[in-house]
Amino acid sequence: MIIFYKTQKLEEIQSFYQGKMGMNLWLDQGSCLIFEKGKVKLGFCRADKAETAGTITFLYDSIEEVDAVFQTFAEISTTSPKVNPDYNIYHFWGKDPEGRSLEFQYFLQPGESPKGMENPIEILNPDATKPKLLLTRLIPQNAIDLLGEVFEIHANTAPRGLSRKELLASVSEMDALLCLLSDRIDAELIDRAKKLKVVSNYAVGYNNIDLEAAKEKGIVVCNTPGVLTESTADIAWALVMAAARRIPESEIFLRQGKFTGWEPMLYLGQDLHGQTLGILGMGRIGQAVARRATGFGMRIIYHSRTPKELDFEAELVDFETLLKESDILSLHSPLTPETDGMIGAKELAMMKKSAVLINTARGQIVDEKAMIAALKNREIFSAGLDVYAQEPYIPDELMQLENVVMLPHIGSASFKTRSDMGELAAKNAIAVVRGKEPPARVV
């Protein structure tokens, strides 16, 4: 079944439903486009007058999925996620560019309710004599214990991130904030946090924080560099091996009972030994990834703003050479205005058809639509991804591709690394409230 609507803004509608909502373009008839997502098919035909009545409902399989979608589409939402007890659903509402009502919905199971929806913030160690710290998600216990020695911890104990409204409401009386990369710490939030002294980011990146606004208010910003370098490099190599040698495809084939014996042309992949590894951004993680390549006898080239003093052989090359000569291209640049969308259609077209693209840095460095097209059209061999442009949202079109290996942003997800990150983030916050220099200060 296809639901059709008339539209005055066909191009804008396509950009919204295909680009932002991640629906597949199922059929293009020129003046009429049909999009598909799961079992839903939506058609939009150009007309002098738009049809905006009715509701387009997107169904999800859990409370957590609705929360994740809300985080991604907060700017188009008109309500926060909530329970409608009359229909036993958990949902929120939004609008498309022409004002059509969009509903993002999950049918609750008997007795099921969103944990902590009314008040997800819990004081873990009530003590009014201590400075207050807001912890936006629970982190390893060693860090919480360390924080508890100094702070009264106000923690989000719900199995989801805080909504924008909850975050803004919770920060006003806090002396310290320990947050995640997914938390937007902008000028509006900083202006509300009248007592805030420190923002300690549980991440090596900090593109989620308005550094200028923090600096203007005298708020110290910290991160967790170094401690996650080796674990992230490990996961980058896991993606290299899996994407180059088609590991997930092969395993699924075998588990489905299709393996009947050795075949000369079964799941041929790309060699790594003796090939060229290209590194975009030769910082700590880039170097750790490149250093591992020496064991495979690989030639290493890199592109960086400045030459690096390295303990292994590697050649600094210009950006175009990096794209054209890399058999494996691994991205390790921070997200900046200069790197946002740095790998687009033009750059992907320069790469070898046998090339493998690896991204464990930031999803926005790659033009996701251009990458999907390149993978679909076999302009590059495969990709291995741990990050995405609109996390946690991932386009259906990308999910359906066989020549991409995808992980749920687990680059630093080892027991030791996440514990070490927590300890460093805690020490950063503690140092600042005690008037000392934190171990990992950004500004």
Average pLDDT over residues 141-170: 93
What lies within 8 Å, CB to CB, of 200 at 6+ separation is: 176, 177, 178, 179, 222, 223, 425, 426, 428, 429, 432, 438
Burial class (CB in 10 A: 0-12, 13-18, 19+), 11: exposed
pLDDT of residue 20: 82
Verify whether residue 391 is a known catalytic residue: yes
What single letter denotes the amino acid at residue 365? I
pLDDT, tens digit, 9 for 90 and up, residues 408-424: 999 999 999 999 999 99
CA 405 vs. chain centroid, Å, equals: 15
Average pLDDT, the chain: 94
Q: Which of 362, 397, 418, 423 is catalytic?
A: 362
Residue labelled with tokens 């912890």: 135
More confident residue, 239 or 119: 239
Nearest to 422 by CA among 189, 160, 430, 152: 430
- Residues 105-124: pLDDT tens digits? 999 887 676 654 557 899 99
Annotated active-site residue 362? The verdict is yes
Residue 409 annotated as catalytic? yes
Residue 44 reports pLDDT greater than 70? yes
Least confident of 43-57, 177-191, 208-222, 320-334: 43-57
Task: Work out the widest C-alpha separation in the chain, in whole angstroms.
Answer: 72
pLDDT at 117: 53
429 pLDDT exceeds 80?
A: yes
CB 231 within 8 A of CB 411: yes
Quote the pLDDT of residue 87. 80
Confidence at 12, pLDDT banded by 50, 70, 90: very high
Least Cα distance to 147 among 169, 175, 119, 171 occurs for 175
Catalytic residue among 245, 409, 418, 423: 409
**Stronger pLDDT, 48 or 73, i.e. the higher one:** 48
For the chain, state the CA radius of gyration.
Answer: 24
Asked if pLDDT for residue 433 goes beyond 70, the answer is: yes
| 212, 214, 220, 225: CA torsion to nearest 10 | -60
> For position 7, what pLDDT does the model report?
95
201 Cβ neighbours under 8 A, 6+ residues apart: 179, 180, 181, 208, 209, 221, 222, 223, 224, 425, 442
Q: Is the per-residue pLDDT at 382 higher than 90?
A: yes
**Catalytic member of 65, 122, 391, 441:** 391
User: Average of pLDDT values for 316-335?
Assistant: 97
Whole-angstrom CA distances from 362 to 88, 208, 259, 415 are: 37, 12, 37, 22
Most confident region among 81-95, 281-295, 382-396 by mean pLDDT: 281-295
pLDDT per position as a tens digit, 68-88: 888 888 888 988 888 887 788
Residue-range domains of the chain with CATH: 3-107 (3.10.180.10), 121-227+417-433 (3.40.50.720), 229-258+267-406 (3.40.50.720)
- Identify the CA nearest to 299 among candidates 281, 264, 336, 325: 325
